[in-house]
Structure 1
Amino acid sequence: MKFSPNDNCPCGSLKKYKKCCKSFHDKINFPKTALELMKSRFSAFALCNSEYIIFTTHPNNCDFTLDLKSWNNDILNFSKNTKFEKLEILEIIDDEIESFVTFKATLFQDKNDISFIEKSRFLKVEGIWKYIDGQFIEEEEK
């Protein structure tokens, strides 16, 4: 997928990528809040930036592994085969070292809707937010 720094950021901010998540992905800045981390991780998945996903994953996360080659390949395989359509933030519970962000990710694989709602938990480790885990939430029937 061709993507320019002048394209809109995949996180849904309506800002250009270079003015939004790019500085996080390039490690020029670090997200100041769990919400910024959540959005930058969504963008990283959309842009196949496995290095950023690995960097921002807490060591106690169940996917965390020292087998970086395999982990990297798993992330890239998922990202390359998924269309990241939209990110909607539903709820934020913000605190200084532990925060929660509930979001809906609208995703497609081979025209199949694999969208989900997750309540993600983030911990601040040595001043840097990390994704530790998440809980899927059933979407209420309309």
Structure 2
Amino acid sequence: MDPDARCPCGSGLSYGECCGPFHSGAASAPTAERLMRSRFSAFAVGDPAYLLRSWHPDARPASIEIDPDTRWLWLEIVRTERGSERDSDGVVEFRAKYRVDAPEGRSSGVQHEVSTFARVAGEWVYVDGEA
């Protein structure tokens, strides 16, 4: 993704200032919310390697495929609990709007999830989520 383009996570920053450094490994998300935003952006830009790297090692699947027919449109953070730079765990509730442009037709929806996060070796990771 162009580093000067607006970041898909909705922060208002450019991709190069926001989620891009997390995706490239140049920086780590400082909070659970920033990790959630960067994971949404990874879906939006098609970066399954980042999704796997940012998943808790005890819960991480062996692989992940991103559906090329699904386009992630916007992210709304509903609430956060803990997850600051000083915490060891956190919760982020979010809504993510998507559109599917499949050969059988177009559809859209919203994924509403309450996700849990933890720090492993000082890095925020996604643990699991409840839709």
5+ residue gaps, structure 2, are none
CA offsets 1:38-82 (integer angstroms, 9 cap, x no match): 000000110011110010011232x522xxxxx24x23xx2x221
Report deviation, 1:83.
Answer: 1.0
Equivalent of residue 64 in structure 1, options 61, 80, 90: 61
Which residue of structure 2 aligns with residue 34 of structure 1? 32
5+ residue gaps, structure 1, are 66-70, 137-142
Equivalent of residue 94 in structure 2, options 103, 109, 116: 103
Across the aligned residues of Structure 1 and Structure 2, the Cα RMSD in angstroms comes to: 1.2
Which residue of structure 1 aligns with residue 77 of structure 2? 89
* 1:1-142 correspondence to structure 2 within 5 Å: 3-61=1-59, 64-65=61-62, 71-72=63-64, 74-75=65-66, 78=67, 80-95=68-83, 96-110=87-101, 111-136=106-131
Whole-Å separation in 2 of the counterparts to 1:31 and 1:94: 15
CA offsets 1:76-123 (integer angstroms, 9 cap, x no match): xx2x22111110000000141110000000011122113111000001
Any conservation in 2 of the 1:58–1:64 contact (CA below 8 Å)? no
* Count of residue pairs brought into register by the alignment: 124
**Fraction of identical pairs, as percent:** 35
Give the alignment's TM-score, normalised by structure 1. 0.83
Q: Which has the higher strand share?
A: 2
